[in-house]
Amino acid sequence: MKKHDIVEGIIDTYDFPNKGSFMAKDRRVTVKGALKGQKISCMITKLRKGKAEGRLLEVLEPSDIEDGEPCCSHFGFCGGCTYQMLSYENQLKLKSELVKNLLDGVIDSKLHPYEWEGIIGSPVTSGYRNKMEFSFGDEYKDGPLALGLHKKNSTYDIVNIKDCSIVSNDYNKIVAYTLAFCQKANLPYYKKMQHTGLLRHLVVRQSYTTKEILVNLVTTTQNIESLDLSAYVTGLCDLPLEGKIAGILHTENDSLADAVISDRTTLLYGEEYIYEEILGLTFKISPFSFFQTNTKSAERLYDKARSYVGETKDKVIFDLYSGTGTIAQMLSPVAKKVIGVEIVEEAVIAARENAKLNNLSNCEFIAGDVLKVIDDIKEKPDIIVLDPPRDGINPKALAKIINYGVDEIVYISCKPTSLIRDLATFQENGYYVKRACAVDQFVGTVHVETVVMLSHKKPDSVINVKVEFGEGEGKVPLDNIAKRAAAYKPKERVTYKMIKEYIEAKYGFKVHTAYIAEVKRDLGLPMYDAPNAVEELKQPRKHPTVEKVEAIKDALGYFDLI
C-alpha cells in the first residue's frame, strides 16, 4: 500500500467523532465520515506502522442504519451536518453507543459500577439553533463571493447557504441579503493565507423564546471605507422576517486567527443584546456571550445537571467556566451561595446582570482564568460544577480543583474525548463515576453533550495496625525489610544512551542507535514504536559489523537484558 492508492472496504469499527475504519491487507485504515456498515472507497493520505488514514471518496453501499432522508439541500456538501441520512432514533442510538464506549474505556466498571442513563433527545429537531457563525469565502478557488459554512473536508471552500434546516428561515433571509449586498458592492473576502481582504464572518443570534434577532457583521479594517454600513442596516431592517431585529453590530477583527474576535465592536442599530428564557429564568445575551445553542434541549441538560447536584441546602457551589451564569442561577434558589468563574469578562458582566434580572442575591461571578482565580477565593466549595470549553480543563487547573477534595463534582462536557482525558486524572485521585448520561444538543451532527456525576472515594472503615521494628518476639527485623525492598525494587530502564556509553568506555568506538535496535530486534527483545518512524527509507539501511554486534550483545548482557 502506498500514498494516493485507492482502496475499498466495509467499515467494521466506528469511533467518536465520526471515524470509521476497516482492514486492508496488513493495515487498519481510518476514514473520517464513514459509518459502520458502509462499503466505501477512499484515497490513502497517511501511512504508519500497521495503520493508514484515508480520505472518503465514495459510499459504494449504504449502512443498515441509514434509514432517514436528508432534510437540507446542502447535505453531503456542507461540513455542518453529518447524520441527516439517519432517522432521529438511530442518531440518538449511535451517539449513546459512542459515548458509552468512551466511558467504558476509561472507567473500571467492575471496581466501581456506574449508572448509564442513556441519551436525552432534543424536543426540537429542526430550526433549533439560536446562534450561527457564517463565513465569507468562495465556493471554489477564485470563484464568486460566497457566504455560508465550510464545505465538507475543506478548510477554505464555502457552501452558499440558502435553506439551512437547523436554523429558522430568518437566518437564511439574512444570509441571502448580506451576500447580495456585499456582491453588489464588490467587497473582497478575507483570505486567511495572504491576510488580505475585508469580509470575515456574519454572526446571527435569535432568541427561541422572543424571536429577537442580533446581527453582527465581522470584517477587517482593510479598505473599510468601501463598506456602506448605513445602507446595510437599512436593507436589513426592511427584510420581511418572522422575528424582530433587536440589534445590528459591526465588529472589527484584524487578528490572524480564523475566529470571531473583537478588536472593536460598534452598535449600528437598536440594542446589543437579546433575551432568552430557560426553566423560568430570563437571560440577557450579548454578542460574545456563551449560551447553549439549542435552547429547548439546554433545559433538559440543565435539569439533568441539577438532579445530579442533588441536595444543595446550606452548601457553597462553585460553577467553574460559568459563561453567562446559567447553571449558577439554576442552583442559586436552593444553595447557600453559588460562585461562578468565567474568563470572558463580557459574559461575567452579563451573568451579574442576569442575576439581578432574576432577583438572585446569593450569586457571585468572578472574571478570570480558573487556573489563577480559584486561589484567591476565600470560600471553600461543598460541590463543584464544571462546564469547560471543548478542549477540557487545563491540567494545572484540574489539579487545583481536585485538591479541594469535595465529595461530589458534576462535569458537563461538549466534547466526550476531552471528558475522558480528564476523567482519567480524576480517577487517579480517588474520584469515580456514579452516574452519566448524554444529551443531544446538536441534531443531525456528530456532536453531543455528556453529563457525569463524580464522587470521591472514601474508606468504609479504618483499621489501625501497630508495628514495632527491631529484634525480639513480635518485632519485624529491619534487615528483612531491606531485603524485601531490594527484591521488589523496580529495575532501572536501560536506555540506548546507557548502552552506547558502556560500549564506548569498554571498546573505544561508538555505535549508532539503529545498530542497537537491529541487534535487539534480531534477539527478539521488546521494541517500542518511534513517533517519527518512516515507512520507506530513501537509502538502503547500513548494518553493523560483526565486531559491533558482539559489543552490543556484551552491553545487553551487562544490563541483564539477555
| Residue 42 appears among annotated catalytic residues | no
pTM score > 0.85 for this model? Answer: no
Residue 124 confidence (pLDDT) above 80: yes
Contact 167, 126 (CB under 8 A): no
Provide the pLDDT for residue 530: 44
Mean pLDDT (the chain) is 89
Predicted confidence (pLDDT) per residue in 393-427, tens digit: 999 999 999 999 999 999 999 999 999 999 999 99
Torsion of CA 377, 378, 383, 385, to 10 degrees: -10
The alpha-helical segments, DSSP class H, found in 384-492 are: 395-403, 416-428, 478-488
**Range with lowest mean pLDDT among 395-399, 476-480, 497-501, 517-521:** 476-480
Q: Flag whether pLDDT at 549 surpasses 50.
A: yes
Output the DSSP codes for 137-186: EESSTT--EEEEEEBTT-SS-EEEPSS-TTS-HHHHHHHHHHHHHHHHTT
Q: What is the reported pLDDT for 154?
A: 76
388 pLDDT higher than 90: yes
| Three cell numbers written together for 82 | 453529518
* pLDDT given for residue 506 in this prediction: 85
Question: What is the set of domains in the chain, with CATH numbers?
Answer: 6-64 (2.40.50.140), 131-274 (2.40.50.1070), 496-558 (no CATH)
Q: What is the dihedral of CA 517, 519, 525, 529, to 10 degrees?
A: 20
Residue 526 has a pLDDT of 66
What is the per-residue pLDDT across 226-272, written as a single tens digit (0 to 9) for each? 999 999 999 999 999 999 999 999 999 999 888 898 999 999 999 99
Q: What is the reported pLDDT for 481?
A: 53
Q: Which burial class, exposed, middle or buried, applies to 400 when counting CB atoms under 10 A from its CB (0-12, 13-18, 19+)?
A: middle
| Residue 302 to residue 300: CA distance in whole angstroms | 6
Query: Would you state the pLDDT for residue 19?
Result: 92
Question: What's the pLDDT score for residue 215?
Answer: 98
Residue 186: partners with Cβ closer than 8 Å, 6 or more residues away: none
- State yes or no: pLDDT of 139 exceeds 90: no
Segment of 327-336, 518-527, 540-549 carrying the highest mean pLDDT: 327-336
- Burial 73-109, CB ≥16 within 10 A → b, else e: ebbebbbbbbbbbbebebbbebbbebbbebbeeebee
Predicted local confidence at residue 536, as pLDDT? 44
Stronger pLDDT, 127 or 497, i.e. the higher one: 127
> pLDDT of 148-183, one tens digit each?
998 887 777 899 988 899 999 999 999 999 999 999
Return d(Cα 337, Cα 313) in angstroms, integer.
9
Output the nine-digit C-alpha cell for 239. 427584510
Choosing from 182, 363, 414, 437, the catalytic residue is 414
Give 135-140 contacts, CB < 8 A, sequence gap 24+.
Answer: 135/200, 135/201, 136/182, 136/189, 136/190, 136/199, 136/200, 136/201, 136/202, 137/189, 138/189
- Could you give the 3-state DSSP secondary structure of residue 535? coil
More confident residue, 252 or 472: 252
Give which of 399, 332, 342, 337 is closest to 367, Cα–Cα: 342
List the grid coordinates of 424: 482519567
The 3-state DSSP class for residue 235 equals helix
Q: What is the dihedral of CA 327, 331, 333, 337, to 10 degrees?
A: -100
Least confident of 38-42, 341-345, 371-375, 477-481: 477-481
pLDDT of residue 451: 97
**pLDDT score of 31 more than 80:** yes
Residue 9 in contact with residue 21, Cβ under 8 Å? no
d(CA 87, CA 168): 21
The per-residue pLDDT for range 90-123, each reduced to its tens digit, is 999 999 999 999 999 999 888 889 999 999 999 9
Question: Which pLDDT does position 157 carry in this prediction?
Answer: 87
Residue tagged 459509518 (cell numbers) = 35
DSSP state of 123: S
Q: CA-CA distance, 96 to 88, in Å (whole number)?
A: 12
- Position 476 scores a pLDDT of 59
Is 141 a residue whose pLDDT tops 90?
no
What residues are paired with 264 via a beta bridge? Answer: 252
Q: How far apart are CA 266 and CA 216, in angstroms?
A: 9
